[in-house]
Amino acid sequence: MDDIKEKIKNKIIDLISMESSGRLVVFKPEDSPRDLVVEKRGDYKKQPISLNVFKKAQIEEKKEIGHEKDLYFIFADFDVIKQNIEDEIFVVYSVDSKKVVIKKDELARFLIEKLDKK
């Protein structure tokens, strides 16, 4: 399970980096309960978005996900044959628990829009 989650995180980092054309910086924070942190390159206000990553099957387990500003939950599946995440992912905002279904190649644009509103 942890190996799959790690593969999903790595693929999400790759996707965001490629699809944002270098406008976003994504990293795994040390000593943090967050899986990934995303910020705009050159944004000195340092108002990042945090992501916690889960397998899609875990979405039902996350009924109570908390209300933390700037935290999003990503639910994705990893195809071990293709060695890639499935095309459709769920993004859940922790404040209102609203679930959005997006294509994986739209994730960077989604995050850029959220960071631009800050």
pLDDT digits (tens, 9 = 90+) for 5-52: 899 999 999 999 999 998 999 999 998 889 999 999 887 777 899 999
Residues 6+ apart with CB under 8 A from 14: none
Q: How far apart are CA 74 and CA 54, in angstroms?
A: 6
Q: How many helices (H) and strands (E) does the chain have?
A: 2, 8
Q: What is the per-residue pLDDT for 62?
A: 63
What is the tally of structural domains in the chain? 1
pLDDT (0 to 100) of residue 111: 94
Over 60: is that where the pLDDT of 1 sits? no
Model confidence over 52-106: pLDDT tens digits?
A: 999 887 877 665 556 678 899 999 998 888 888 888 999 988 888 788 899 999 9
* Structural domain containing residue 30: 2-116
